Structure 1
Amino acid sequence: MLAKAVRIHGAGDLRLDEFELPEIRADEILVKVVSDSICMSTYKCAKLGVEHKRVHKNIASHPAIMGHELAGDIVRVGSEHAARFRPGMKFTIQPALNYRNTMWSPGYSYEFCGGDATYCIIPAEVMECGCMLEYTGRAYFEASLAEPMSCNIGAFHAAYHTHMGVYAHDMGIREGGSLAILAGAGPMGLGALTYALHSDRRPSMIVVADIDRERLDRAASLFPPDEIARAEGIELHIVNTEDMADPARALRGLTGDRGYDDVLCYAPVAAVATLSSEILGRDGCLNFFAGPTDRCFSAPVNLYDVHYNSTHVMGTTGGNTDDMIESLALTAAGRIDPAVMVTHIGGLDAAADATLRLPEIPGGKKLIYTHIEMPLTALDELREHAAHDERFSALADIVEGNRGLWCAKAEDYLLANWA
């Protein structure tokens, strides 16, 4: 089968290639990819090439398909999986395979498997690890976003708290406690916020801190603190730390100077990591969520508090399959809306450039539809393109009617009217 895909040939070398997929084996599955959202991890992979832990060393001769937040339809099923999967079934995958203690993962490591593709082959280990998941929802993009949401969910589950004199950990964020999300007005931070507000284990206070005014304004419009307090009974603060003479003191002041039970650090910036440490309360848990590209990255943290106040620092990368299933279930139930992460859409022709320039492009998640051609377009700029293409006008009507958020109706219109 002829396929198109964005593949990595070397560090900083992404190309939209056309090539033949081989016939699937009995233990593989052929799929049609419909949507893939671009992750900052994909940017890191693209920039590092073979220096990335998940990228194989011979990509110059066997380039790997990029993208791991994919959803689509099953086309053909190898005989070994015919009892569980069938053609026409919607799917998504959990790319963090942890297969036989290797770092290999779809979207980084495979010549014929990744999300920035029209069609790809799901390798046997995805099914062997239980990471091929049926998706029963309507919108493909929600299944794509289940993966980044699962990373957030994993971070919440991996947090832990202790009891003095007892060598046991209580897993998860502190229920009814205080939560700070630093560098939190970006796509992953907003995903964490929607989960914190609507999951089964919730804090009583959440502070989202950032220095980007545009992102903060968008966060406040999507999650008005007064409305959140009335609807969810949770005290929400969305604050700009750039305006604070002493951010640590100001953030701790919101807790009555007790400090935070849980802190999520969403930027690999030394000052943000240090601030995260400074605002921890007793037995506070800091999750350094944002993965740096610098292998020697470090930042000062308060080790006095680690010893005497039982603060602790940990990190997570990705979620597991249970986290992914929880993400899909909460989305299907309408309890969380992963669309808050999305600010741009585009076709497969836009994926390579968008990936390589990801840190330079403002806004949140960039959502790619792999069977259309469309330049990367901000949702709040759809109307501007209507003068030369009336389809953008209809799309803008749908998005504007949904609080500026991408939605199933918009996806349906896009898939029906673009080629």
Structure 2
Amino acid sequence: MRALVLEAPGGGLRLEEVPVPEPRDGEVLVKVTSCGVCHTDLHVIKGETAFPTPAVLGHEISGVVERFGSGVEGIEPGRRVVASFIMPCGSCRYCVRGRDDVCERFFSLNRLRGVLYDGESRLRRADGSPLAMYSMGGLAEYAVVPATDVFPLPEGLPAEESAILGCAVFTAYGAVRHGADLRAGESVAVVAMGGVGSNIVHIASAFGASRVIAVDVVGEKLEGARELGATETVNASESDPVERVREITGGEGVDVSFEALGRPETFAQALGMIRDGGRMVAVGIAPGESTAAVPITQLVRRSQRIVGSYGARTRADFPDILGLAGRGFINPQRTVTRKYQLEEAARAYEDLDRGEIRGRAVVVV
């Protein structure tokens, strides 16, 4: 099969022929239809996030079940499926408590070592040398996914665009549903209109937010946010975004702000937008060990909260996400604005790095 390989951080992506992986007990082999283009992959490509190399990246996929290992039930070959980037082991202390968004084995084995839960990667070169897997390694024609993370795609949803349900939508849903615990009628500001930020706007609107203020520095991205449900937009290249959000809200600030870029300056901006008693949800992954200053006295006196949100809870939330998408409350077609072929994937990440992609792009395999 063809797979896009990152040889080393900063070394670029190269298309290679590698053996088709084999699923083991409790695993599913998926013929990949498409894979989302995410900033988290870009951090690895640029060496801003540590990950073993050589590796195959790509962590939100749609596809078709090819075959599966022993112990897998309820999934038949030929079924259209999607998978999320958090692949729960199902047995660690967090998974058994329903908190598979912080699955111990996912973080210690997959995110640190690039392997699955028996300590080995399923991907290898023709000479037998291993290739690390970032989640399932979706930038390839086939991917092995734990059965805990394989979900049937509802009829009527498009196969290619639905790949983004596994990270861009999944991450946004977790931030809105659990990080913010957003209630109908509350006001929201979202900083950074990338794939995740755009979907936070979309989902917050679907959850009944009374006001959704989108913040970015690119006018085209703000226009796209309006199409997804933003009631107001703020161009941070033209005015101070904190002052502008407070002006829109009559000086009070919003009930909830979301930061979806992972930069110290946008973190501070999002925190400055919330009212007394408000919540700020940090969603964006930062390069390296970036830090942001927090005004301690303001946080304490004004009873504000800062919450980190990495993703949704795979086994409990993904069926709900798919249900919302199937009923039209979440529309992945409205977020996907570009498609690339597998041989063009390196260019997709270059375009992403230049800020040229509005919403989300997908690589069609």
Same-fold status (TM-score > 0.5): yes
1:46 maps to what in 2? 45
- Tell me how far apart the structure 2 counterparts of residues 286 and 73 of structure 1 sit (CA, whole Å): 38
Cα 1:294–1:224, aligned 2, differ >3 Å: closer, same or farther? closer
Counterparts in 2 of 1:329-408, with a 5 A limit? Answer: 329-356=323-350, 358-364=352-358, 365-370=360-365
Q: 1:271 aligns with which of 262, 265, 272?
A: 265
The correspondence of residues 8-407 of structure 1 with structure 2, limited to 5 A, is: 8-13=6-11, 14-48=13-47, 52=50, 55-56=51-52, 59=53, 63-81=54-72, 83-99=73-89, 100=92, 101-102=104-105, 103=107, 104-105=109-110, 109=115, 110-112=121-123, 113-122=136-145, 126-127=146-147, 130-138=148-156, 139-147=158-166, 148-160=168-180, 172-183=181-192, 185-199=193-207, 202-220=208-226, 222-223=227-228, 236-244=231-239, 246-295=240-289, 297-321=290-314, 322-356=316-350, 358-364=352-358, 365-370=360-365
Tell me the distance in 1 between the aligned counterparts of 2:256 and 2:225.
20
Q: What SS does structure 2 have at the residue aligned with 1:242? A: coil
Aligned partners of 2:285, 2:22: CA distance in 1, in Å?
36
> 3-state SS of the aligned residue for 1:175?
coil
SS in 2 for 1:85: coil
Computed over aligned residues only, the root mean square deviation of the Cα atoms, in angstroms, reads 2.3
CA gap of 1:98–1:136, structure 2 versus 1, over 3 A, is: closer
Given residue 334 of structure 2, which amino acid in structure 1 is its aligned partner? V
Residue identity opposite 2:81 in structure 1: F
Q: Secondary structure at the match of 2:7?
A: strand
- Asked if 2 retains the 8 angstrom alpha-carbon contact of 1:66 and 1:108, the reply is no
In the aligned structure 2, how far is the partner of 1:177 from the partner of 1:280?
12
Query: How far apart, in 2, do the equivalents of 1:214 and 1:7 lie?
Result: 32
Q: Using a 3 Å threshold, how does the CA distance of structure 1 residues 290 and 174 change in structure 2: closer, same or farther? A: same
Q: Relative to 1, partners in 2 of residues 1:249 and 1:22: Cα closer, same or farther, differing over 3 Å?
A: closer
> How many angstroms does 1:98 deviate by?
4.7
Q: CA deviation at 1:286?
A: 0.6
Between stretches 259-268 and 246-255, larger displacement belongs to 246-255
Q: Cα distance 1:224–1:97, how it changes in 2: closer, same or farther (>3 A)?
A: closer
User: CA distance change for structure 1 residues 178 and 8 in 2, over 3 Å: closer, same or farther?
Assistant: same
Q: Matched residue of 1:310: which SS?
A: coil
Q: CA deviation at 1:93?
A: 1.4
Bigger shift: residues 8-17 or 284-293: 8-17
What is the SS of the residue equivalent to 1:286?
Answer: strand
Q: Which has the higher contact order (CA 8 A, sep 6+)?
A: 2
The whole-number CA distance in structure 2 between the counterparts of 1:137 and 1:65 is 30
**Cα 1:361/1:108, change in 2 over 3 Å:** farther
Whole-Å separation in 1 of the counterparts to 2:228 and 2:37: 24
Deviation at 1:131, TM superposition (A): 1.6
Distance 1:256 1:265 in 2: 21
Q: CA separation in 1, counterparts of 2:229 and 2:76?
A: 43
2:190 partner SS: strand
In the alignment, structure 2 segments of 5+ residues that lack a partner are 93-103, 116-120, 124-135
**Residues 35 and 277 (structure 1 numbering): CA distance in 2 closer, same or farther, change over 3 Å?**
same
Going from structure 1 to structure 2, the CA distance change for 1:291 and 1:76 (only over 3 Å counts) comes to: same
Q: Distance in 1 between the 2:68 and 2:122 partners?
A: 19
TM-score by structure 1 length?
0.72
Bigger radius of gyration among the two: 1
Q: Percent identity?
A: 24
How far has the Cα of 1:224 moved from its partner?
7.5
**Judging changes above 3 Å, is the alpha-carbon distance between structure 1 residues 195 and 24 closer, same or farther for their aligned structure 2 residues?**
closer
Distance 1:22 1:70, change over 3 A: closer
For 2:41, the aligned partner's letter is T
Q: Deviations over 1:271-325 (max 9, x none)?
A: 2221212221111111121111121x12233222211111111211122213322
AA paired with 2:74? R
- Higher helix content, 1 or 2: 1
Q: Which residue of 2 aligns with 1:417?
A: none
Q: CA deviation at 1:212?
A: 1.1
SS state at 1:243 partner: coil
Task: Give the aligned residue type for 1:348.
Answer: L
1:82-132 CA distance string (max 9 Å, x none): x3211111111122135441314499544534211112233xxx22xx222
AA matched with 2:297: Y
**Residues 68 and 137 of structure 1, relative CA distance in 2, 3 Å threshold:** farther
